[in-house]
Amino acid sequence: MKRPNEMSITFTALSENEAFARVAVAAFVSQLNPTMEELTEIKTVVSEAVTNAIIHGYPDLIGDVFLHCKILGDRMELVVEDHGVGIDDLETVRQPLFTSRPELERSGMGFTIMESFVDEFEVTSEVGMGTRLRLVKRMAAQQVAAGNEV
Amino acid sequence: MKVKLESAHRGSMLIASLSGELDDHEADTVRTILDREMEKSGAKRLVLDLADLTFMDSSGLGVILGRYRKLKAQGGQMAIANVSPTVSKLFEISGIRKIMTVYRKREDAVHALKEEAL
């Protein structure tokens, strides 16, 4: 069986690493020939997931963010994980405009944006253990190329 | 991240051109500059020109919504110009389009706010 192409990065939960995470994932998935728009959407999704881990996962300490990216045919799978405080009410957190940190002037749109830009979205969380986001996005351009194969 | 500021209509309007990437790391800087300049100039109208913005996520939406709420509370106005397709999508998803007009050109945004103020 062919081994899927994947990569993992662990980095300190500091906001200056958000741009690094976006660029690293964008560079890795470029082999799927995404369109500019798809690439920007992927960067946005990475940014939202990583920012959530930094701000909400670790509100009082600087932990680590674990990022894992896998190429699955014409799709990319992204997993972003923190070992922080966790979320006790996933339903509320997923509501548009909800933010647990209004003092930071957050828009509360992070989860809604992620859900809009990917094909599959999954959140698992345990209070005191951390949160794991799993997202899958299919590249439309790649789909066309695959469809042309005989 | 750079914020270039210009004043228009005898100081009653501030035009801020954002360039670079507006994420959570840069949000505080942009917020501080805009609030400081609006206060210093006494301007009640703000045009955000996003032509040179290469990336923005929901942290940027937070900055925009925050400035909108502040201006609105003071009887001010705000408009946005030159958004990329992805930022346009973010505006759509977040409902910003329902409360603020997004103009294709910066001149249109400046003109619209000037007209509204009359």
pLDDT, tens only, A79-105:
999 999 999 888 887 777 777 776 667
Per-residue confidence (pLDDT) for residue A1, from 0 to 100? 73
**Inter-chain CB proximity B57 and A105 less than 8 Å:** no
Please tell me the distance in Å from A44's CA to the nearest CA on chain B: 6
Query: Mind listing the domains of chain A with CATH numbers?
Result: 13-145 (3.30.565.10)
Each residue's pLDDT tens digit, B49-67? 999 999 999 999 999 999 9
pLDDT band at A148 (very low <50, low <70, confident <90, very high): very low
Q: Hey, of B50, B57, B68, B100, which one would you mutate to test binding to chain A, going by the most A CBs within 10 A of its CB?
A: B57
**Predicted TM-score (pTM) of this structure:** 0.90
d(CA B33, CA A24): 29
Continuous H helices in B11-100: 24-41, 58-73, 85-94, 96-99
**Looking at beta carbons, which residues of chain A come within 8 Å of B66?**
105
Each residue's pLDDT tens digit, A92-142? 877 777 777 766 677 788 999 999 999 999 999 999 999 999 999 999 865
When CB atoms are compared, the residue of A54, A105, A113 closest to B93 is A113
In chain B, where the domains are located: 2-111
**Inter-chain CB proximity A105 and B61 less than 8 Å:** no
**Looking at beta carbons, which residues of chain A come within 8 Å of B84?**
40
* DSSP code string of A44-84: HHHHHHHHHIIIII-SSS--EEEEEEEEETTEEEEEEEE-S
Element (H, E) at B106: helix B106-117
The correct CATH number of B2-111 out of 3.30.750.24, 3.30.450.20, 1.10.3720.10, 3.40.50.410 is 3.30.750.24
Q: What is the edge-to-edge ordering of all strands in the sheet holding A64-72?
A: A6-12, A64-72, A75-82, A130-138, A120-126
**Inter-chain CB proximity A48 and B89 less than 8 Å:** no
When CB atoms are compared, the residue of A16, A40, A106 closest to B62 is A106
* DSSP code string of A96-133: TT--S-GGGT--S-HHHHHHHH-SEEEEEEETTTEEEE
Amino acid at A62: I
**Looking at beta carbons, which residues of chain A come within 8 Å of B93?**
109, 112-113, 116
Please determine, for the modelled complex, whether the ipTM score is greater than 0.85.
Answer: yes
